[in-house]
Amino acid sequence: MYDKNTCVTTLKLKSSAGCPKYSATAWVEFLNENPWVIAVLMIIFGLITTFFGKKFFTITLSVACGGFVFMASMFLFSLMGMLEYLDDKNQGNVGLVILAFFLAIALGGLIGWVTFKV
């Protein structure tokens, strides 16, 4: 299909090969729908690092490493099915969601502490 007014060619196809085998997990969907969460954290840590430099660098680096581990572990817990309750259908176990959240906080805190001590 070619539109003469905008010089745009459009191609439409249908195929079963284009069907997704996996869908985004609840945690990824939350971050996709609320990008401001990561944006606010990045702005705060960027401002602290920019204006205070070496004085707060180890603290900022520790919090950033801990935050990365928290996000990565929540993503892994989501892939393992522990966060199914957060999907729209509310199927699953809310206890697993709480357990996953506290485990992710503990892992992030541990890595942040180790990073701060090193």
Residue 2 forms part of a structural domain: no
Residue 4 has a pLDDT of: 63
Residue 88 has a pLDDT of: 62
In this structure, the number of other CB atoms found within 10 A of the CB of residue 83 comes to 21
Residue 83 reports pLDDT greater than 80: no
Residue 103 forms part of a structural domain: yes
Residue 56 forms part of a structural domain: yes
Residue 1 forms part of a structural domain: no
What are the tokens at 72?
Answer: 């990565």
- Helix or strand run (H / E) with residue 19: none
Residue 6 forms part of a structural domain: no
* Tens-digit pLDDT profile for residues 33-69: 888 988 998 898 788 778 887 787 788 888 889 989 9
Residue 19 forms part of a structural domain: no
**Alpha helix (H) ranges present in the chain?**
26-33, 36-52, 57-79, 94-117
Instruction: Quote the number of domains for the chain.
Output: 1
Residue 28 forms part of a structural domain: yes
Q: What is the pTM of this model?
A: 0.66
Residue 18 has a pLDDT of: 62
Q: Which domain, by its residues, includes 60?
A: 24-117
